[in-house]
Structure 1
């Protein structure tokens, strides 16, 4: 991740922020030994200009697909999430009540279909969720534990919502969160940048696509030996 904590400050407030974070949060976890890749909520709603959830995140999907190719080559688990609600929305609780565009994810709505280019392979796992985190009320944690996974490579949308929630819960469930910077997107650059900054400071490591692909390539070479 481009480390804004090392940038030259524009004013006294920015300098104070940089100094404060550098003093309190200046550590990297690093990659573990056995990763899985998750692609969070790359569904049509975020790519359709006629939908209010449209977020102009094609570059994030393109990066995620490149990471997925490296993950498949390295033979690590690839997991996808989508959001699926009962037609009444009752299983969405307060989240469905608050975030009105979630109506696009009622079962059968075309906005909940996979984005172009993202069709999961038959061997890859799809987890449907009703809340922001890929961990909340799903089987993800137990599945990763059963597979011996220690590191979760996180891609998807949106950075300030489902990516942040998944990163925090990954940390809280004992997995190393690695957020792939270019493979995450949001509807505006400000929450995207601020949430990447905060996740990198407190919960996991935000890494570049290049760094992650190089690491996966090394794992793939080990598998082929």
Structure 2
């Protein structure tokens, strides 16, 4: 029999983790739905904390300039709206603050699985369901969700807690992900977490 027979099985807090993807100052300031995004994200974070669900924050972390990809340096300069590479460290700071028991993953790619120990950590902890939030929907969120699925995890996309500076790209990405992943609003995810907390 399958391990998963209902959404309650999917959302068991003891086998879930919340991913807060690249919610950094340089990205938050340019998204199309900042107030709604931050509100939904904070609701998920608070719920995860109350249920002892692990929270992982990712952070774009440039390599030393000599060893950084020229393509990534160019793209970061665009995101910085013309600022030089690494000119303002505050741009890289997280816009939501982790608590001391929460994990910040410094990474250099658009996948949480590439160049990090994330997969090792969640397999060690018996985590199978990954709830994705963050910026940008069509870049790191979708890339990480696809990698999660291909590695045997169950990605869930919190549709009102992901965002982008490009609303059309965000909506196309959500439409793509609905075809293969669970995509639902944050209050639905919280409701399932609460229903499944005794399982």
TM-score, L = length of structure 1: 0.75
* Corresponding residue number in structure 1 for 2:21: 40
Unaligned runs of 5+ in 2: 1-5
- Matched residue SS, 2:68: helix
Q: Secondary structure at the match of 2:104?
A: strand
2:157 paired with 1:176:
no
Matches within 5 A, 1:1-225: 30=7, 31=10, 33=12, 34-48=15-29, 54-58=30-34, 59-88=36-65, 90-92=67-69, 94-98=71-75, 100-101=77-78, 106=86, 109-115=89-95, 118-202=96-180, 204-220=181-197, 222=198
Deviation at 1:200, TM superposition (A): 1.5
SS in 1 for 2:105: strand
- Structure 2 distance, partners of 1:165, 1:219, is 28
Q: Which residue of 2 aligns with 1:14?
A: none
Given that 1:92 and 1:130 are in contact with CA atoms closer than 8 Å, whether structure 2 keeps it comes out as no
* TM superposition score normalised by structure 2: 0.84
Higher relative contact order (CA 8 A, sep 6+): 2
Cα distance in 1 for residues equivalent to 2:158 and 2:93: 23
The answer for unaligned runs of 5 or more in structure 1 is 1-28, 49-53
Q: How many residues align?
A: 187
- 8 Å contact 1:46–1:57 — kept in the other structure? no
